[in-house]
Amino acid sequence: MNIKKAEIVISAVKPQQYPKGNLPEIALAGRSNVGKSSFINKMIHRKNLARTSSKPGKTQTLNFYLINEKFYFVDVPGYGYAKVSKKEREAWGKMIETYLTTRKQLKAVVLLVDVRHPPTKDDIMMYEFLKYYKMPTIVVATKADKIPKGKWSKHVKIIKEALHLHPNDEFILFSAETGYGKEEAWNVLLKAMS
Ligand code: GDP
């Protein structure tokens, strides 16, 4: 994928702030620190367009990145911070639910998990939520470089089983460090948007 242009267009909270037009969107979700920003940056060959290690407590927004003026990556704020208050958690949930359930341009959601660990309760809840709304989902298991190749298939199996991965959903092993899985990820994303 040749990335000619990648720019943040808006950080939105309310539907009125979502970008106008009909360009397809791919949303990216995952618990905080899973490697979501690193995934976006690796995919679009940018060092730091999506901010890495965003801290809790700051405004939780949906960040729309326009890529090649053709489609959007929509960065969904990370979940699973223990320190976030109940009120903040509810506001987060409402914002995500509104976006995911009403946005016609949304073609698929990339759910990032850490290949080293079994999915957390929050990961499983997020996946079940996406399946409840029949949202095409692409599970990306990232940080593959952090475990030896010989252990990959065992970890992949644990993740797929814990999520009860739907047969129509894609699963991609990825590393933002080495770029492993990047081409496959682009193929799957482009297919989801076609
Ligand atoms: P986010 O909170 O989900 O956006 O996570 P970040 O992208 O900020 O990543 C959290 C930490 O994990 C950072 O220190 C990254 O450098 C590191 N990280 C992310 N992806 C990978 C990966 O594929 N391999 C390795 N080794 N580290 C990664």
Specify the residue with its C-alpha closest to ligand 1, atom 22.
Answer: 143
The minimum-distance atom of ligand 1 relative to the CA of 174 is: 23
- What pLDDT is attached to residue 48? 75
- What pLDDT is attached to residue 123? 96
Domains identified in the chain, total number: 1
CATH number at residue 12: 3.40.50.300
Residue 1 placed within a domain: no
Does the CB atom of residue 33 touch ligand 1 within 6 A? yes
**Of 39, 42, 47, 53, best ligand 1 pocket probe by most atoms within 8 Å of the beta carbon:** 53
What's the pTM? Answer: 0.94
- What pLDDT is attached to residue 53? 47
Residues of the chain with pLDDT under 70: 52-59, 81-82
Residue 162 placed within a domain: yes
**Of 52, 60, 63, 152, best ligand 1 pocket probe by most atoms within 8 Å of the beta carbon:** 52
* Domain of 179, in residue numbers: 6-193
Distance of CA 32 from the midpoint of ligand 1 (Å): 10
Question: Which DSSP symbol is given to 50?
Answer: S
ipTM above 0.90, yes or no: yes
Specify the residue with its C-alpha closest to ligand 1, atom 27.
Answer: 143
Residue 59 placed within a domain: yes
Per residue in 1-53, pLDDT (tens digit) is: 899 999 999 999 999 999 999 999 999 999 989 999 999 999 999 877 777 54
- What pLDDT is attached to residue 59? 58
